[in-house]
Amino acid sequence: MADKRKKARRDFTYYMQVKNDANKEIIGYLSDISTGGFKLDCPQQVPIGQDFRLSLDLTADIADKTTLSFIARSKWCHPDHIDPTSFNVGFEVVNMAPSDMMIFNRIFEKYGSENAKRKRSDDYLWGDRK
């Protein structure tokens, strides 16, 4: 399957919770980020094609404010290939204030790590390799 993303993706190296902005419940944890979206590791399945008002708690090294709120749309949801009791969910940012997008891009630059080689599920298996 061809990768339809047009923006660079980065693994997320910082433990950051993403919350439902309305009730402050944790939706999941950032595991992959791009300048237009992100992937969450979630404890439960998330409906596809739904818009969510989400929030991220910010640290002083990222912004002068404490919370970033925005709207993101769930694009896909799959059981995690390592832990089948959790789900990987892809989101596209659909509405974010321009000043908040600058903060989001700062998070991308500061905590996103570039990998020369993307990990596959069999990269985690033990065994001899040639």
58 SS3 class:
coil
Asked whether 32 and 39 are in contact (CB, 8 A), the reply is yes
The domain covering 9-114 belongs, at the CATH homologous superfamily level, to predicted glycosyltransferase like domains (2.40.10.220)
Position 80 confidence tier, pLDDT thresholds 50, 70, 90 = very high
pLDDT exceeds 60 at position 12: no
SS3 63: coil
Asked whether the beta carbons of 104 and 96 are under 8 A apart, the reply is yes
* The pLDDT value given to residue 115: 57
> For the chain, where are the alpha helices, taking DSSP H only?
98-111
- What is the C-alpha separation between 18 and 68, in angstroms, rounded? 10
In this structure, what token pair is assigned to residue 101?
A: 């997008």
Domain boundaries along the sequence of the chain: 9-114
pLDDT band per the 50, 70, 90 thresholds, residue 14: low
Place of tokens 């992100």: 38
Over residues 98-111, the mean pLDDT reads 87
